[in-house]
């Protein structure tokens, strides 16, 4: 059984999930096998163009709907109050679901300056009962403060790039201060170099686990939710098997010391539509 973490709205979320970018034709099978293996958090986005395929995998798995936390995200081109409401209905239809468990604003797009209006629409969707929890992705502390100040509603989640090469200590602290749970996209850095770091290899050997399991366990012990992507059943199983060992404080510090302090995409300037 995967542990769950509390959200600020009273709901709970599994401590690890399955990412689906950039899956297309392999998405139904990947989602089905992940759910069969025990995953209960599935992450997609309108931008990924695979919501229908993800929904198909959910149906094919046979896992009861109420046991699954399904996340999707509002794409940049659909930001704005009314367009967010329309985009949600499109995502819900493509996924084939009556409700979405977690709906996120994918990027703040500050130049466009519609994320507050989009957030107000998400608050309405939650009040209407068609979304259980609402959150954001790639938001900075300033972006969070603005939507909280203007709506009195703090996001349940902020999904950000986070891995040992980019530990995001300041943003994690900012999220925690605002009662926002941090999720990690690209938790393994999409980088084979990370998994061959001497520190990671030595810690893995000490615990007799795989290098990737060490990195995912680091996320778990930080109190963030990693969302590794894999279509391989063996890799999915390995990624899920991170609750049977524990890293010491020293090992956690060793992994965090790999931080290079650089993100690939700056939330203040990156635009994704």
Q: Which residues are catalytic?
A: 48
Which 3 state secondary structure label does DSSP give 187? coil
CA–CA gap between residue 183 and residue 216 (Å, rounded)? 12
Question: Which of 23, 63, 26 minimizes the C-alpha distance to 43?
Answer: 23
Per this entry, what is the length of the chain?
Answer: 273
CA–CA gap between residue 184 and residue 207 (Å, rounded)? 23
Q: No. of H helices and E strands in the chain? A: 11, 10
Burial of 106 (0-12, 13-18, 19+ CB in 10 A): buried
CA–CA gap between residue 203 and residue 210 (Å, rounded)? 9
Rounded to 5°, angle at Cα 61 from 31 and 235: 40
Q: E strands, 193-259, where? A: 225-226
Which 3 state secondary structure label does DSSP give 219? helix
State the DSSP string of 13-52. EESS-EE-TT-STTHHHHHHHHHHHT--EEE--GGGT-HH
**Phi/psi zone of residue 216: left (φ > 0), alpha (ψ -120 to 50 degrees), beta?**
alpha
Residue 142: CB atoms within 10 Å: 12
């Amino acid at each position: 059984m995967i542990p769950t973490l509390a959200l600020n709205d009273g709901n709970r979320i599994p401590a690890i999930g399955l990412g689906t970018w950039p899956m297309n034709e392999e998405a139904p099978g990947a989602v089905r096998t992940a759910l069969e293996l025990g995953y209960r958090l599935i992450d997609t986005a309108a931008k990924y163009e695979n919501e229908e395929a993800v929904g198909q995998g959910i149906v094919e798995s046979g896992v009861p709907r109420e046991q699954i936390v399904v996340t999707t995200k509002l794409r940049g081109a659909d930001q704005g109050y009314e367009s967010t409401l329309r985009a949600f209905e499109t995502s819900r239809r493509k996924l084939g679901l009556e409700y979405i468990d977690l709906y996120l604003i994918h990027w703040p797009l500050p130049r466009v300056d519609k994320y507050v209006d989009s957030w107000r629409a998400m608050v309405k969707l939650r009040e209407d009962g068609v979304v259980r929890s609402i959150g954001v992705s790639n938001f900075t502390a300033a972006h969070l403060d603005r939507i909280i100040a203007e709506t009195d509603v703090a996001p349940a989640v902020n999904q950000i790039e986070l891995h040992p090469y980019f530990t995001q200590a300041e943003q994690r602290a900012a999220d925690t201060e605002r009662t926002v749970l941090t999720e990690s996209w690209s938790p393994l850095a999409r980088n084979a170099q990370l998994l061959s770091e001497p520190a990671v290899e030595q810690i893995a050997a000490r615990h007799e686990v795989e290098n990737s399991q060490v990195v995912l366990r680091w996320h778990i012990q930080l109190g963030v939710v990693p969302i590794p992507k894999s279509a391989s059943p063996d890799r999915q199983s390995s990624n899920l098997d991170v609750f049977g060992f524990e890293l010491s404080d020293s090992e956690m510090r060793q992994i965090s010391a790999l931080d290079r302090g650089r993100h690939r995409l700056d939330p203040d300037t990156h635009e994704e539509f």
